[in-house]
Amino acid sequence: AEAVLEQCVQRCNEIKKATLAALNEKVRVREEEEQNTLAMEAAQADLSEASKRIEEEAKRRDALDEQILEAKRKLEEASGGSEGRRLELRRLEEELMMEGAMLEEMKQKLRGEIQKRKDQEGGLKREMAKLKSERVDIETHQNTLQEEARRLRDEKEAAEKRTKQRTVEIERLKRLHESLDKKEPMLEKEEARLKQQLSEREGRSEARNSNIIALRAEVEALQGDIGSCRGSLD
């Protein structure tokens, strides 16, 4: 019983260590989930900022287009205009082309950045799904450990109960043995007394048997005398 109790205690300690490790892993998974959530929120904020920048650049380009169109319109209204205006128009067209190229390059960069952010967001979502699955596995394992701990605790309580019962029984047997040890001299004396009484009774019984035999002999002799007397009378 002590060996079983020791095994139960050792197993309970192992389960406590495993449960503590599972709780630490659960805390780590929760921290990673919080970090991933913050990263996703930051990525969404970056996407929103990039979208705003694209809209602002598009508005800026539209404004430049309006300026160029206005310049062309004024140039046409000038009926042929001057060489300076044509140069100014050409300069504006070149600036517009440069701005358009820069805007297109910026759009490409922003598209790449958006795609990169989307890929990161997808990776974060997959990582969060994996972490959720790991958390479910950890909770399942923790429940299994708790059930095992409850079972071992019940076994430990049952073993302790059996040990207590056996201890009580051993104490009772010890007391009984001590009582018998104390009563043994008295029992020996009583046995000797009974043997002596039996011996005396056997002696008296033998004497009685001898008396009975003698009486039977006397009776038989008397019966013989009576028979002789009857014969004489006849």
d(CA 181, CA 84): 138
Give pLDDT, residue 105: 81
Q: What would the mean pLDDT of 74-98 be, rounded to a whole number?
A: 66
Per residue in 134-168, pLDDT (tens digit) is 777 777 877 887 788 788 888 888 888 888 888 88
Structure tokens at 139: 């909770």
Give pLDDT, residue 233: 59
The domains of the chain are located at 2-233
> How many other CB atoms sit within 10 Å of the CB of residue 43?
17
> How many other CB atoms sit within 10 Å of the CB of residue 196?
10
d(CA 11, CA 17): 10
Between residues 221 and 169, the one the model is more confident about: 169
Report yes or no: 159 and 1 within 8 Å, Cβ to Cβ. yes
**Model confidence band, residue 9 (pLDDT cutoffs 50, 70, 90):** low
Structure tokens at 29: 């998974």
Q: What would the mean pLDDT of 48-77 be, rounded to a whole number?
A: 73
Give pLDDT, residue 180: 73
- Burial, 22: exposed, middle or buried (Cβ in 10 Å; 0-12, 13-18, 19+)? buried
Give pLDDT, residue 84: 60
Give pLDDT, residue 127: 77
d(CA 93, CA 69): 10
Q: What would the mean pLDDT of 22-37 be, rounded to a whole number?
A: 76
Which regions of 140-185 does DSSP assign to beta strands (E)? none
Residue 79 confidence (pLDDT) above 60: no
The model's pTM is: 0.35
- Average pLDDT over the chain, rounded to an integer: 75
Per residue in 175-185, pLDDT (tens digit) is 887 877 777 77
Report yes or no: 145 and 22 within 8 Å, Cβ to Cβ. yes
Q: What would the mean pLDDT of 202-219 be, rounded to a whole number?
A: 77
- Which helix (H) or strand (E) segment is 83 a member of? helix 83-233
Report yes or no: 131 and 33 within 8 Å, Cβ to Cβ. yes
d(CA 169, CA 164): 9
Residue 234 confidence (pLDDT) above 60: no
Q: Which stretch of 39-48, 81-90, 95-104, 144-153 has the lowest confidence by average pLDDT?
A: 81-90
Report yes or no: 187 and 47 within 8 Å, Cβ to Cβ. no
Q: Is 1 helix (H, G, I), strand (E, B) or coil?
A: coil
d(CA 1, CA 168): 14
Report yes or no: 89 and 71 within 8 Å, Cβ to Cβ. yes
Q: What would the mean pLDDT of 105-120 be, rounded to a whole number?
A: 78
Domain 2-233 falls in which CATH fold? Helix Hairpins (1.10.287)
